[in-house]
Each structure stands twice: as structure tokens, then as C-alpha cells.
Structure 1
Amino acid sequence: MAKIHEYLSSLTDNPYFGAGAGLAGLGIGLSVLRKSSIIANAVIRRNCFISLEITNSDPAYPWLLNYINRHSRRQTRHLTVNTFVRQGESGKTDTAFRFLPGQGTHYFFYQGFPVLVERQRENQSIQKDGFRTPFETVTLRTFGFDATFLQRMLQKATDEELSHAETGMVIYHAVGPEWRRFGPPRRKRPLDSIVLDAGISDKIFNDLREFLNSSKWYTDRGVPYRRGYLLYGPPGCGKSSFISGIASQLGYSVCMVSLSERTLDDDRLNHLLNTAPPNSIVLLEDVDAAFHSREDHPSLKAAYEGMTRVTLSGLLNAIDGVACAEERILFMTTNYVERLDPALIRPGRIDVKEYFGNCTDYMIGQMFARFYRDEQQQLATEELTQEFVAAVRRLSCDVSAAQIQGHLLKNKFDPLSAIHNASDIVAKS
């Protein structure tokens, strides 16, 4: 034992051994420290940070990147660009650019908290919109314990993007037994741009909105979840325009059916009315043209001979027969409500009837004020508006909204000419 003690003492007195042992101990210590830091980092990242990963196969991927780029305190300096090209048949080309944070690491602040953004591009590719594109991921990380923090940010980015998205009103028409889009989406028309007599627009829109929010009420009481509207009155009084405004306001499409189409029969009409696309309004325009009494108008009999194969009973069954679909909104328009069979417009088939008449003083004034409204110059003063209303009333005849609009369009930059030449409304109509 003494010899062993002497041997160890001699090693400790050896400067070479002491230096080596010190280096070894330092290496072990650094190794332990490194492993400890890795473990500590993993524990902290797992328990003290929240993260959200999204790939470019998800529709919200560009929305999130766009949101980050818009709302960072200082916009990211490393960007990527997506170019959108739209070329018309005539050769005119329009382009638009979207700038997004580029590959790598970025920082931004959301609700006062710093968020780390890591955008990575992988070697593999995915199929997207008919093209092969590199697979990408974006990972968001921030300090905290509430995982819904990043979820709320994603929802905010989605809501903001969709609120700025330019959408149009889609028109469908019947081709054979199916609905097909008719041309490109139309520009949405604001509901308040259609001037009607006081209260009409609000009455119909509020009724329709209440219907859309009452699905459970109808189901609980066993009432068919359908709603029918009849708009009647002279031509050019805003019936079709109002339906376009309603559809635009609700974000609905419009499915148009012409009952005078020669190839349309009862079976095809029944199929079409009950297979309309979701979130759509079915529109039957000028329904009287197919069903008014020929006996009362013998001179028209030849003109309507063979014009349609749809029968009145076929239309009634298509509207509320046994096989009718639920959750349907039906609008009919007519210029001659007295020609319609009472069975067609009874409650259950038509729930709301509204008269669209020629222009009242209120409507004339509203249209004039809307055309010449100028927030800076205030051209459409009350005095000018009343002068125009009086000028129209001196015509001693009823005028439609279409006639007033046509006249104002001819004088869209000169309200005084619109007033002085009011007689042109009926002279050239």
C-alpha cells in the first residue's frame, strides 16, 4: 500500500502528468457542459416555446407570409416574388406582383412578442396548380405557453387576406341537365347602388338574412327550408339589378333559367331547380311570358305556339313538389303579375311579393344625388336635387329608373344640363 501511495505521489509531482490530467479534465468538463446545454436547450424549447409549422401545400401558406411581410416593424429585406400574368384574348396583358419573405430566418413582432420565422426549401417537389414546385416549410417560434397565440395569428392572416380578395358574382345558366358558368365572374354591385323606394331594399334583404339564419328553426318544425320571392312591376324599375345586388351582398351566385327555352321541359326544369350549386339564387325572369292566358290574348297565340314545353303543373312540382331540394332561394320577376296563375304565387311557393314601380320623388332625388355626389365640391346640393325632381315631374308622365339613369349617364359631368334637358328623358326613350 505504501508503494502505491508513493507511486501516485510521484505522478502528481510530475509536471507532464499534471498538465495532461488538467487538459483531460478540461475536455471532460467541456463535453459535459456541451451535452448539458443541448439537453437544457431541448428542454427549454419543448416546454418554454411554442411553434407552428405550415407547408406550401396548404392554401394559407402565402397568406401567412404576406401577413408577416406587411406587419413586421421593418419589412424583410430579403424577399421572393410571385408574378401573376393575365392575358386576354385580344392580346392585352396585365401583371401583378406579390412579395414574400425569402428563404432563411426572419424576425417580426406580433402583439408585442418577438416571433422567429424560418423558411426552408427542401430538395423534393410537390404538384401544385398543375405544376411541379419545390416543397417548402415555414416554422414560427416564440416564447410562451399558449399554443393558441400562433393559431390566432394564422386566423388573423387568413381573415385579412380573404377580406381583401377580389371576388365577383358568378352567373350560371342551364346547358342540358347541368349548370355551367356563363362567362367570367361579374363585378359585384353594391346593394346601396340600387335606388328603390324607401324601405323596399331593407325589407327584402332583412327577410332573406333571417331565412338564412333560421335553418334549425325550419328543421325542428318540419317546414321545408325554402324561400320564394316575386318582384313585379313595369320594365326598367330595378328588379334584375336588385337581385344582382342581393347576390353580391350575400356572396351568392345566380342561376338563371329561361322558361321560354324551346328545349326545356318539365323533367329538365325539375332537375335544374333541385340541383343548383350551393350558395346560389335561382332566378326565373319574366315568368309571365310562358304562362299567361292565350285565350285572353288570341293575337299572341301564334307567337307563343311551340315556344316552351314547360307546363304550369311541371313548374309547380319543380318549386315545391315531393322531390324538391331544401335550402333553396327562388326569385321570380314579371311585368304583369295579373297574368300569373294564383297557384304559382300562393304562400309556400312565393313567400314575399314586392312591387317595383316607376320612380317616386324620393327615388329621383336619390339617383341625382348619387350621380353628382362630390365630397369636396358638394355639387349635388339639396337645391339642385329638388330642381331636377321638379323638372322630371313637369313631364306629366311616369318614368322608370332605367330612363332616369340613361339620362343622367348622358350628362354625367354636368348636373345643370341634366336639369335643363330633363325633357329628353321621354323624348328619346
Structure 2
Amino acid sequence: MHLPDILANLGDNPYFGAGFGLFTLGFAAAALKKGTAVSSQVLRRYMMTTLEIPVSDHSYQWVLQWVARRPDMSCHLSVQTQFQKLHSGKIATGFNFSPSPGAHFLWFGKLPIKVERVREKQMIDQTRHVPYETVTLTTLGRNKHVFEKILLEARENALKSQENMTLILKPVGAEWRQFGNPQRRRPINSVLLGSGQSERILKDVQEFLVSAKWYIDRGIPHRRGYLLYGPPGCGKTSFITALAGELEYSISVLNVGDWTLSDDRLLHLIVSAPPQSIILLEDIDAAFVDRSSMKNDSRFQGMSTVSFSGLLNALDGVVSSDGRIVFMTTNYIERLDKALLRPGRVDVKEYITYASSCQAYEAFKHFYPETSEEYAQNFAENIKLSNSEISMAQIQAHLMLYRFDPESAVKNATHIS
């Protein structure tokens, strides 16, 4: 039998016809699926722009807040409840909304934007100890500049919410994280140090911030270290907080005496401190505490605390960040090693001592601006006659006690303790 006859007979066979039809449909479906996948891949690669933002990136929360505030945002939201203390002393409750996990759609100008928040249930972000998340923004065309505009707008909105506020940052794991709510900026003139001290330190910091080129031209690392030392309660930490507000900086607080802090972690945290941030090492003398007994304590087994050489290396080692400002405080400067106090590690030292009669006078005028000069002078004289070492914290507590009675504040000034 010839081939044409065989094909003719197969064509008349209903089983063959049905099988051939199913094969054809299957082949067509597979080809269509493959073509659709290829077309989708080509579309995503050449006709769409995608931006992925991981939860560990600083802009992650900015973008979530920006999306939640959009009027064309969908109604699928997540909430975070916050509490804030008002001037009256009452606690106000606030709610921060963000897009819930899933896909959301909005318009940015004339372009549609798909926002997809994905939460991985099986993965944990090791720095934040929260489920690993990403936010993906997708738009039509090759429009990378659109995402740059979105990020800048989201950042600007976030900064507006923190306007006139000072952020306090503390280390959690290997990263810096905001600690508590932002604090209202404290006027620098509200912290009363010795004659000319506030102005001298502020001027030095401001000159340092604008002298990057001078440092670079001379091959000097662009960093500055300050040490404020003296008795407790005299305004060291308060001044640093006010200085940060004046410079519009945040404060990154490090406890060198923390038994969970190692040399490597200290170096990493100082190098990775956020820009426009003052690094504050409070009670730096804690780094000189004898920890030899800790080796025999089961609670500290396997932990590596900060060594003196590790501290020195973190302050002026090979790895350093430009424009870094480090403030250290101590109540016991005699406990500090001379190697720590040399220039390059500590460039400026200021002794913040007990209150003088001049400081007492200024504090009284600050509390009672409408009272006569005679009251303020008598208060300062009584402080001088007390013959005791009085800190500014003690004076402030005394004035708070008589905040509505300046006459009694003057009369009882010799009894401050």
C-alpha cells in the first residue's frame, strides 16, 4: 500500500482523528503558554521598570508611609499604635497606617504604579528580628527617574514629620534603630554651662563641619572628638542633646560598658553610624573597668567585651567615616588612660563643673523672666553663700519646686542639697 493510501485510511479512522486533534490542541496550548511566558518576560524587561526595597533599607518605612498617605491608596492597611506625652501631661494615642501585605495600585503623575508588599513567613531579618519583607514598585516604560522622585518625596515627607525633633538612636544587633519617640529640640541657650563654654564648643563643631576640604587637602582624617568631664548633674548630656538640636543632628548613643558589646561590633557601629549624627559615648570610664572576674561568671561565657585597644582602634583606626563627631562624657577623668586623651581621639576637652553664681543668676532669670533683677541677684548671692558644691541639676530641681513662687525660691536657696 502506498503512503497516500495509508494517510487516506488514517484520516478516515475516527480514533486517529481524535488523537491527532488532542495532540494539536496540546501542542497549541503549550506553545501559547510558552509564548505568553516569553512575552511577559520581554514585557517586564523592556517595557516595565521595577524597584525592590528590602526591609533593611532606610527608605523602606519612608515609602510605606508615603503610600499610606496617598489619597488614591487602597483601603487595605496595617496599623501601628503609638503613645505620646503632651505638654499637659496627658498621653495621646496616635495611629500610623501602612499598606498591608499584598498588591496596591495608585497613580504618580500620569503613570500607574503597582505597589506590592511581600512578607516572607519563613525568613527573619537578622538585624531587626522581624519577618523579612520587601516592597516592590512597578511602572510602565523605562522610568527609573520616577522612582527617584518617589524616594525623594517619601524622604521629604518623613523628615517633615520629624521637624524640630531630635532622634535618639541605639544599636540593636548590627544596626542603629530609633529609640523611643523623637524628642523636641532643646534650645541650646536653655543649657547653662560655664562662661563662654557653650559658644566655644558650638563654634568649634560648626567650623569642623564646613572644613572637610581643609582636612582632605592636608591628608588629615575628617573627624573630631570631644570630651566633657566633671561632676554628675552639671549639664554634660543635656548640652549634647541641645547641641544636636541646634545642628539638626540625631544622637547615636553607645554604652561602651555593655557586656554584650565586642570590639568588632563597636567598630562596625561607629563606622556605620547614620550621617548627620553625633556619636555619644557616655561614661567612657566604664571601658576601663576590670572585667577579669567576668570570665568565671557563667552568664558571660562566650561573650567578648570591648577591650581598650578595640576602643582606640574604633576611634581612630584605619576604618573610619568622614565628618564623624564623637562626644564622650565621664565623671572621673582621672580614670582615663592618656592614650585615649591624645589629639586625634580627643581633640577638645571641656571641664563642666558645679554651678557658679553667674549660672545661678541666669537660671533664675530663665525660670522667672518677669521678676526683677534684684530677685535674681539675691538668688545668685545666696547660692554663693551656701559654700557647697551645687550642680545645675540641683538648682533646676529647686526652681521647679518653687516654680510659681520666686520669693520662696530666693529665700530657701541656701538650703539646696
Shorter-chain TM-score bucket reads 0.5 to 0.7
For the pair shown, the structure with the greater C-alpha radius of gyration is 1
- Compute the displacement of 1:129 (Å): 12
Deviations 1:287-317 (Å, cap 9, x if unpaired)? 112215x5xxxxx986999798211111000
- Which stretch shows the higher mean deviation, 335-344 or 121-130? 121-130
1:362 is matched with which residue? 358
Contact 1:387 1:419 (8 Å CA) reproduced: yes
Contact 2:386 2:415 (8 Å CA) reproduced: no
**Is 1:395 aligned to 2:392, yes or no?**
no
Q: Secondary structure at the match of 2:416?
A: helix
Q: Secondary structure at the match of 1:358?
A: coil
**Is 1:201 aligned to 2:195, yes or no?**
no
- Compute the displacement of 1:386 (Å): 1.0
2:310 is matched with which residue? 314
Which residues in structure 2 correspond to 1:324-363 (within 5 Å)?
324-363=320-359
1:405 is matched with which residue? 396
2:273 is matched with which residue? 276
| Structure 1 residues 92 and 406, CA gap change in structure 2 (3 angstroms) | closer
| Structure 1 residues 304 and 245, CA gap change in structure 2 (3 angstroms) | farther
| Structure 1 residues 420 and 275, CA gap change in structure 2 (3 angstroms) | same
Contact 2:168 2:179 (8 Å CA) reproduced: yes
Moved over 3 A (4+): 85-95, 121-131, 162-167, 300-308
Which of 176, 182, 185 in structure 1 is aligned with 2:173?
176
| Structure 1 residues 322 and 88, CA gap change in structure 2 (3 angstroms) | closer
| Structure 1 residues 284 and 122, CA gap change in structure 2 (3 angstroms) | closer
Amino acid at match of 1:408: L
| Structure 1 residues 304 and 228, CA gap change in structure 2 (3 angstroms) | farther
Which residues in structure 2 correspond to 1:27-426 (within 5 Å)?
88-89=82-83, 92-93=92-93, 166-291=163-288, 309-373=305-369, 378-379=370-371, 381-426=372-417
Amino acid at match of 1:244: T
Q: 2-side partners of 1:260 and 1:388: how far apart? A: 40
Contact 2:83 2:93 (8 Å CA) reproduced: no
| Structure 1 residues 89 and 322, CA gap change in structure 2 (3 angstroms) | closer
- Compute the displacement of 1:124 (Å): 6.2
Q: 2-side partners of 1:415 and 1:303: how far apart? A: 52
Q: Secondary structure at the match of 2:311?
A: helix
- Compute the displacement of 1:127 (Å): 5.7
| Structure 1 residues 123 and 215, CA gap change in structure 2 (3 angstroms) | closer
Q: 1-side partners of 2:192 and 2:296: how far apart? A: 38
Amino acid at match of 1:322: V
Q: Secondary structure at the match of 1:344?
A: helix
Deviations 1:27-83 (Å, cap 9, x if unpaired)? xxxxxxxxxxxxxxxxxxxxxxxxxxxxxx9x99xxxxxxxxxxxxxxxxxxxxxxx
Q: 2-side partners of 1:216 and 1:341: how far apart? A: 32
Q: 2-side partners of 1:407 and 1:383: how far apart? A: 19
Amino acid at match of 1:249: E
Deviations 1:333-369 (Å, cap 9, x if unpaired)? 0111111000001011111000101001110000000
1:48 is matched with which residue? none
Q: 1-side partners of 2:391 and 2:344: how far apart? A: 31
Task: Give structure 2 stretches of 5+ with no counterpart.
Answer: 1-62, 67-78, 85-90, 96-108, 119-134, 136-155
- Compute the displacement of 1:167 (Å): 3.4
- Compute the displacement of 1:423 (Å): 3.7
- Compute the displacement of 1:92 (Å): 4.1
2:16 is matched with which residue? none
| Structure 1 residues 122 and 273, CA gap change in structure 2 (3 angstroms) | closer
Contact 1:86 1:93 (8 Å CA) reproduced: no
Amino acid at match of 1:166: E
Deviations 1:237-273 (Å, cap 9, x if unpaired)? 0000000011000110111111111111111111111
Q: 1-side partners of 2:110 and 2:294: how far apart? A: 69
Q: 2-side partners of 1:260 and 1:384: how far apart? A: 44
- Compute the displacement of 1:126 (Å): 7.1
- Compute the displacement of 1:166 (Å): 3.3
Q: Secondary structure at the match of 2:361?
A: helix
Q: 2-side partners of 1:372 and 1:243: how far apart? A: 25
| Structure 1 residues 175 and 163, CA gap change in structure 2 (3 angstroms) | closer
Q: Secondary structure at the match of 1:259?
A: coil
Q: Give the count of matched residue pairs.
A: 291
Contact 1:231 1:356 (8 Å CA) reproduced: yes
Deviations 1:111-167 (Å, cap 9, x if unpaired)? xxxxxxxxxx98967769999xxxxxxxxxxxxxxxxxxxxxxxxxxx9xx999733
- Compute the displacement of 1:324 (Å): 2.0
| Structure 1 residues 304 and 234, CA gap change in structure 2 (3 angstroms) | farther
TM-score, normalised via structure 2 length: 0.61
- Compute the displacement of 1:424 (Å): 3.8
Q: CA RMSD, aligned part only?
A: 4.0
Task: Give structure 1 stretches of 5+ with no counterpart.
Answer: 1-56, 61-84, 96-120, 132-158, 295-299
**Structure 1 vs Structure 2: percent identity of aligned residues?**
46
Contact 1:407 1:424 (8 Å CA) reproduced: no
Q: Secondary structure at the match of 1:343?
A: helix
